[in-house]
Structure 1
Amino acid sequence: MNVSAWYCLLTLLVLTPQGVPKSYQNYEYEYYYPESSDPPVFTARPQTFTVEVGQSVIIPCDYNNPGPNKLIIKKLPASGGTEKLLSVGSHKVTPDQRISITGSRLAISHTRPRDAGTFLCHFDLEPPVQLRHTLDVQYPPSVRGLVPPEQHVARGTSVTLECEAHGNPEPIIRWSRQGGKLPSGYHTSQGSRLTVENVDRKAEGTYLCTADNGIGDPASAAMTLIIEYPPEITREKAVVRTGEGDNVELVCIVHGRPPPDVVWTHDGTPLPDTMMDTQLHLPTHSHTTVDTSDSHSHSLLAHRHSLSINPVTEKDLGAYVCIAENAHGQKNEIIQMTALPEPPKITSSPNGGESRSYTLTWDSESFYPITDFIIKYRKTHLGVWQTSENMVMAGSWANVSRTVEPKAGIGRQPRSMAYTLTNLDVATDYLAVVRVRNKYGWSAESQRFHFSTKKALAVLQSTSGAQGVVLMTLLLSLVLVLLLLVP
């Protein structure tokens, strides 16, 4: 068969593959060229083309000395697939409209990830004449969570969040948390998994799995942890001091998931709902605004449950219990409402200005006027220079009790008082406690307060008992000086 016949058969196979016998539809090509002619030579070099998805690329198959042979361009399978014939000579075989043939070059517009692979420029000779190019199509990452987007987890358990990402180049996965740090204390953690051990309510929030490969924008998947736990109660005041006619609000701040039901009792008797009020409670942080739309913020939120008593009567005094309960448990806290004065807070300076007396001052909050007080004091240890015959020994308390003229007026206010202790020892350390009483009874003791009488005089007194020794020391010093001065 001559060259013209081979060419006609090739054209028939390419242009009308459905109209030829099956034995010719495998695109097996064989060319004849005179033995005296040289085979084709590719002038282009093997290259790797890297483009971002959506860009265009030209695959060059430039050659010299084609003779009667036709250039074939194929796309080889990446793994396990079948090769695709793209063009024979100047004729495009693939139906893909994004591919065009211009001379010996193949152009691909609007590249897609599936366009990546090996392109083979081929002359079907024996041996074959071939040129290989590689196309790498880079594309932005995508990511998806491998766990439910919202999980309810019991406090104390461990939970693992997981996601997977795709992209070219291979994306880097990092975890972060909306509105704060991760439970580990770090802002981010790298890897496809994030494990949180022994979760508590502070671990509640929305976690972001973010994939980034430098192409386009990073992609994120959100997963929310909702931590379920028994109620937790904080009292605004454990003791509320009040009296008849006063207006009082008792408050407990309640955390819990699910939100606990709260009831109040007074001396064991349940109180009606009409006395209660519930509001959302936000933590107070200076220079900080809490965004309640952020799920992480909800782990910091609680409910403020208040009990209003208006006006107070004597029968309202007593123990109030705030009881919170949900599916995980129950919690109680007691708020004591009393008319007794609070323990005094001593306000005087611990360093006395007098050698044998000391003025003790204190404040005590009481709804009713103070009628009496008691001061107990003792030495903390025996001083070196103490010579008083009426010493108060360390460990032995002295008591002073007085009745005072009540000052007019009622209401919660600090009641300031003072008393001067006399016949104290010079330069001596003392310990004192104070209690006060109103018409409802005695307060608890104040915190122990350390004070001392004036100590500067002690140095002078210490020399009076050894005047002879001091005088002798001075005389010896004078003699020594004179001896040094005599030649």
Structure 2
Amino acid sequence: MYRPLSFVLLTLLLLIPQGLSTGLNEKYNYNYAGESYYYDYEVGEEDQPTFLARSQIFTVEVGQSVIIPCDVENAGNNKLIIKKVPAAGGKEKLLVVGNERVTKDRRITVEGSRLTISHARPRDAGIFLCMFEMDPPIQLKHTLDVQFAPSIRSLAPPEQHVAKGITVTLECKAQGNPEPTIRWSRQEGPLPSGLRSEEGKSLTLEGVDRHVEGTYLCTADNGIGESASAAMTIAVEYPPEITTEKAIVRTGEGDKVELVCLVRGRPSPDVTWTRDGHPLPDTDMDTKLYLPGGQNASTKDTHLRVTHAAHRHILTINKVSEKDFGAYVCIAENSHGQKDAVIQMTGLPKPPQVTSSPNGGESNRYTLTWQTESFYPITEFIIKYRKTHLGAWQSNRTMVMAGSWENVSRSVEKDEVKVEDDTCHSMAFTVTGLEVATDYLAVIRVRNRYGWSSESQHFSFSTKKAMAVLQSTSGARSWTPASSPSSSSPLFYILLLLAFFLAEI
């Protein structure tokens, strides 16, 4: 059968292998004998660009360099495009087209199909797309993670003055990659919780007082470079707090005495002194700040002088006389309130302290010994004593009650007192007419030229108790015949020997 030439040519075109095409979408248009023939077909996959690298995540520290590989084969005449999607979000940014760098960042260079970033910065982090704009697009995705040392800033003022009792929250914000850990510490020592450090973005201090004052540090660390810290100082405002080093100061004429009050408060309190309810006269005062190293402002030999060093407020009295004795009050005042403390300066003796053993060695007498502190000779003493309340029921169902107080008072001769260090006085006195093996209670007072001391603490003592065993052994009459040993039994002689042995001790 005869076929037209046009039909033969069309058949040959259909038989052309696809591999002879050089374009992605090849279009052919032929005219023959006034007729037009159109053919359109796609290029096979073996002719498309293929990336040789696989998707990767690159992690570098700030300042390091990194290579983003976009190795490809069968690129042909297609141009490689490299784009970046910022890690923080935003629009894509075109970096490279073919072998040409489009970005103005000179740290970025391109060689062949590889992109190099020198001196990496945190803003370089993101997704890098190696791609050919085809239909559909051919692309390779890399991720760049740039790690950097932490930075931190306080979200609270650097210094806060807060009222006592409120709750304070300190907070810090840190940046870094990886995300930093925030730890809290205190320059002055442990945190109010007692721990050396705590972890968290904030630190809460409840019911603050002066004990939580100080400088608090929030420190960020992520293992990259050096840690970073921010400092916040807490100053707690509170009413005056006042204590004395000695509530009672004993002294004598001609001595030099220091009365000391320890005062705290914020704002720093003003401190004044009174004696027996009256302000100390300004004409007798020399107020100054004590400076260490002998740099005091004055060496004036005043009778009364007020100084202070840190929290110690000192009233110094030179050449004490009897008129100086009395109740001294240091008064501290600030904008939050007022507080005072009393110091009694006296020439009276100190209450005696008993030094003898509570277990007496004699059957019907006991020797009390005691000491007292006095700047003047002891002239008299009083001893009060009585039986102790036993507090137990006896066999006849009666309660043994305490006896009435007996008093012994007498003057003291010089040779009856032993004096050590000019102020420590030791004395002794034997109380007679006591009962055998009995418990007693005693208190002592002493006197000097200025008056009587306060009573000593109650002191318990007893007479020799071995006699009670003898009496109960030899004088017991409550035994029944069935239970008591006969005079001829060995037990009787053992008990009798034991009674005589104890009596001789």
In the alignment, the residues of structure 2 paired with residue 190 and residue 37 of structure 1 have an alpha-carbon distance, to the nearest angstrom, of 58
Q: Compute the TM-score of the two structures, normalised by the length of structure 2.
A: 0.79
The whole-number CA distance in structure 1 between the counterparts of 2:473 and 2:368 is: 31
* Preserved contact between residue 108 and residue 116 of structure 2 (Cα < 8 Å): yes
Residues 265-305 of structure 1: CA deviation (Å, up to 9, x unaligned):
11223223734555489xxxxxxxxxxxxxxxxxxx95211
Equivalent of residue 349 in structure 2, options 332, 341, 351? 341
Check 1:401–1:309 CA distance in 2 against 1; reply closer, same or farther (3 A cut): same
* Residues 337-390 of structure 1 deviation map (CA, whole Å, 9 limit, x = unaligned): 111111111111111122222111111111110000000011113699x9xxxx
2:441 corresponds to which of 431, 442, 465: 431
- The DSSP-based 3-state class of the residue aligned with 1:473 is coil
Q: Does 1:159 align with 2:171?
A: no
Deviation string for 1:107-143 (max 9, x for gaps)?
1111000000000000111111100000011111111
The match for 1:17 is none
Residue 266 of structure 2 is aligned to residue 266 of structure 1: no
Contact 1:278 1:303 survives alignment (8 Å): no
TM-score (norm 1): 0.81
Is 2:268 the partner of 1:256?
no
Corresponding residue for residue 292 of structure 1: none
Provide the C-alpha distance between the structure 2 equivalents of 1:85 and 1:170, rounded to a whole number of angstroms: 29
Between 142-151 and 84-93, the greater mean CA deviation after superposition: 84-93
What is the identity, as a one-letter code, of the residue corresponding to 2:385?
Y
In structure 2, the residue matched to 1:484 is: none
CA contact (8 A) 1:175 1:208 kept: yes
Q: Partner of 1:53 in structure 2?
A: 62
How far is the alpha carbon of 1:152 from its aligned partner?
0.3
- Residue 374 of structure 1 aligns with an amino acid whose one-letter code is I
Return the alpha-carbon distance in structure 1 between the equivalents of residues 486 and 93 of structure 2. Answer: 119
Task: Out of 224-233 and 458-467, give the one that drifted further.
Answer: 458-467
Which residue of the partner structure matches residue 385 of structure 2?
377
* Cα distance change on mapping 1:70 and 1:423 into 2, 3 Å: same
Q: Hey, what's the Cα distance between the residues in 1 that align with 2:186 and 2:120?
A: 36
Gapped regions of structure 1 (runs ≥ 5): 5-31, 282-300, 387-391, 480-487
- Amino acid of the structure 1 residue aligned with 2:185: S
1:188 CA drift (Å): 1.9
Give, as a single letter, the amino acid of the residue that structure 1 aligns with 2:239: P
Structure 2 CA distance for aligned equivalents of residues 36 and 442 of structure 1 = 119
Counterparts of residues 380-395 of structure 1 (less than 5 Å): 380-381=388-389, 394-395=402-403
Q: Distance in 2 between matches of 1:464 and 1:133?
A: 111
Q: Which has the higher contact order (CA 8 A, sep 6+)?
A: 1
Amino acid of the structure 2 residue aligned with 1:473 = P
1:215 aligned to 218, 221, 224, which one?
Answer: 224
Contact preservation (8 Å) 1:243, 1:411: no
Task: State how far apart, in whole Å, the 2-side matches of 1:99 and 1:375 are.
Answer: 102
Q: Is the 8 A contact 1:52 1:138 kept in 2?
A: yes
CA contact (8 A) 2:391 2:401 kept: no
Partner in structure 2 of residue 362 of structure 1: 370
Q: 155, 172, 177: which one pairs with 1:146? A: 155
Deviations 1:205-225 (A, max 9, x none): 000111111111111100000
- CA separation in 2, counterparts of 1:201 and 1:275? 31
- After superposition, the C-alpha distances for 1:291-321 in whole angstroms (9 at most, x for unaligned) are xxxxxxxxxx952111111101111111111
SS in 1 for 2:285: helix
Q: 1:86: how far off?
A: 1.0
CA distance in 1, matches of 2:45, 2:406: 133
Shift of 1:233: 1.0
| Alignment CA distance shift 1:478-1:264 (3 Å) | closer
Please say if 1:399 is aligned against 2:407: yes
Residues 1:318 and 2:326 aligned together: yes
| Distance (Å, rounded) in 2 between the aligned partners of 1:154 and 1:193 | 20
Pair 246,439 (structure 1): closer, same or farther in 2 beyond 3 Å: same
Query: Cα offset for 1:406?
Result: 3.6
Aligned length: 426
The residue that corresponds to 2:298 in the other structure is none
Which residue number in structure 2 is paired with residue 460 of structure 1? 470
Paired with 1:160 and 1:371, the residues of 2 have a C-alpha distance of 65
- Could you tell me whether the CA contact under 8 Å between 1:277 and 1:305 is conserved in 2? no
State the distance in 1 between where 2:391 and 2:156 align.
74
> Does the 8 Å contact 1:144/1:164 carry over to 2?
yes
Shift of 1:34: 6.1
Q: Deviations over 1:36-85 (max 9, x none)?
A: 96101111000011111111111111111111111111112445522111
* Paired-residue identity, %: 68
Given residue 476 of structure 2, which amino acid in structure 1 is its aligned partner?
A
Distance in 2 between residues matched to 1:234 and 1:428, nearest whole Å:
44
1:331 counterpart = 2:343:
no
The structure-2 alpha-carbon separation of the partners of 1:376 and 1:179, relative to structure 1 and needing over 3 Å to count, comes to same
Matches of 2:113 and 2:319, distance apart in 1: 99
**SS of alignment partner, residue 434 of structure 2:** coil
The equivalent residue for 1:473 is: 485
Taking the aligned partners of 1:51 and 1:475, their CA distance within structure 2 comes to 108
Instruction: List aligned pairs for 1:29-44, cutoff 5 A.
Output: 38-44=47-53
Residues 1:444 and 2:454 aligned together: yes
Compared with structure 1, are the counterparts of its residues 468 and 316 closer, same or farther at alpha carbon in structure 2 (3 Å cutoff)?
Answer: closer
Equivalent residues of 1:280, 1:304 under 8 A apart:
no
Task: Identify the residue that residue 195 of structure 1 maps to in structure 2.
Answer: 204
Structure number, greater radius of gyration: 2
